[in-house]
Amino acid sequence: MRFNRFGVYKKFLHIYQAQSAIGHRHVPAESKRVMRPDDANIVGNVHGGTILKMIEEAGGIISTRHCNTQPGDRCVAALARVERTDFLYPMFIGEVAHVSAEITYTSKHSVEVQVNVLAENILTGAKKVTNKATLWYVPFSLQNVDKIIEVPPIEYTNQEQEEEGKKRYEAQKMERLETKERNGEKIWPVISPDRQTKGTFTVGFSQSSLIHLVGPSDCTLLGFVHGGVTMKLMDEVAGIVAARHCKTNIVTASVDAINFHRKIKKGCILTVSGRMTFTSKKSMEIEVFVDADNLVEADKGNYRAVTAFFTYISLDKEGKPLPVPPLKLENEEEQKRSEEGEARYLQNKAKRLSEKEQQK
């Protein structure tokens, strides 16, 4: 007797759909994983990119699962945006990462997912929250990769919850459009400098690029790059920039909103570039952007795919913050980027202080 795997898949899919049709309030998706040496830097701090990748995987699972609870085209949810993400505490080798994702709002064509990350010390059982993130996904048809699928609505506890979600949706939609208009199609190459001729603590001395060929293991069922893979590469480049500037142990402190302007296909060459934009007394802001070059469709040229600002801090051997060497600005363009970075720094600082006051 022949084993029809597709038939078995369809059978279980119909069962799942029938069970899900009862209501669209899902149990949070959860995953656990022990942090290994290859997840961390040389002093044992888990890379921010590793955590971002786990966050995106959880968000992708629950949003794809939700969008397939209705009849019609099968689909895969693609990451469109990650809101500002703070790294509240560092995670270390040997700790267990607990990742929990829950859908909190749906529009006609997008899903908002809230993800929490906890670090567990398996020796004592103590847990602490290390990350909270908000992600937005858009579902694309498996039959037609350019077709966006309508999202099944979720049930809200009350009308206020739905209205608050709609406000968040409208705000992120507006910011995504503004960011795409500002950065979407403009390519500013970051040329690898001759560090023998560049002064230390300048933008040119620390700026860095990484080249990556997109392979099958980087991609979703649609043949496009996982958002988590892209974010991990971005964090690696930002970390190199920060380390070159400080020459100390550095860790990710936060990531401003990450906007995914265009999808990246399998076979593309990615150029992930980072440059220092601003330094405060104890932090560094690094601008990171991802440019994609499609080898198969070379006539279409390269394009800006993703942009974000990463903030890093420098730590001593005891894990305490160290002063950051001031950034030396060499021209008007660098001065302008630094002023914009300072404005973001002051805005985020004021927001954190306001949130602390509200919690008292």
Q: What is the CATH number of the domain that holds 308?
A: 3.10.129.10
Give pLDDT tens digits for 81-133. Answer: 999 999 999 999 999 999 999 999 999 999 999 999 999 999 999 999 999 99
**105 beta partners:** 112
Q: Are strands 85-87 and 249-255 parallel, antiparallel or unpaired?
A: antiparallel
Residue 13 confidence class, pLDDT cut points 50, 70, 90:
very low
* 153 and 237 part of one domain: no
The pair of three-digit structure tokens given for residue 156, joined into one six-digit string: 């809200």
Give pLDDT tens digits for 203-250. Answer: 999 999 999 999 999 999 889 999 999 999 999 999 999 999 999 999
The total of structural domains in the chain comes to 2
Using a 10 angstrom Cβ sphere, with 0-12 exposed, 13-18 middle and 19 or more buried, the burial of residue 145 is middle
Q: Does residue 175 form part of some domain?
A: no
Q: Is 20 a residue whose pLDDT tops 50?
A: no
Q: Is 266 a residue whose pLDDT tops 50?
A: yes
Name the pTM for this structure: 0.86
CA-closest candidate to residue 171, choices 290, 84, 85: 84
pLDDT for 360: 65
pLDDT for 251: 95
Q: Does residue 11 form part of some domain?
A: no
Q: Which domain covers residue 305, as residue numbers? A: 192-359
Average of per-residue pLDDT values in the chain: 87
Instruction: Cite the active site residues.
Output: 41, 235
Q: Is 154 a residue whose pLDDT tops 90?
A: yes
* 202 and 145 part of one domain: no
Q: Does residue 2 form part of some domain?
A: no
DSSP state of 265: B
Give pLDDT tens digits for 173-203. Answer: 888 777 765 654 455 556 666 666 678 899 9
Percent of the chain surpassing pLDDT 70: 86
pLDDT for 178: 75
Q: What is the distance between the alpha carbons of residues 251 and 237, in angstroms, rounded to a whole number?
A: 12
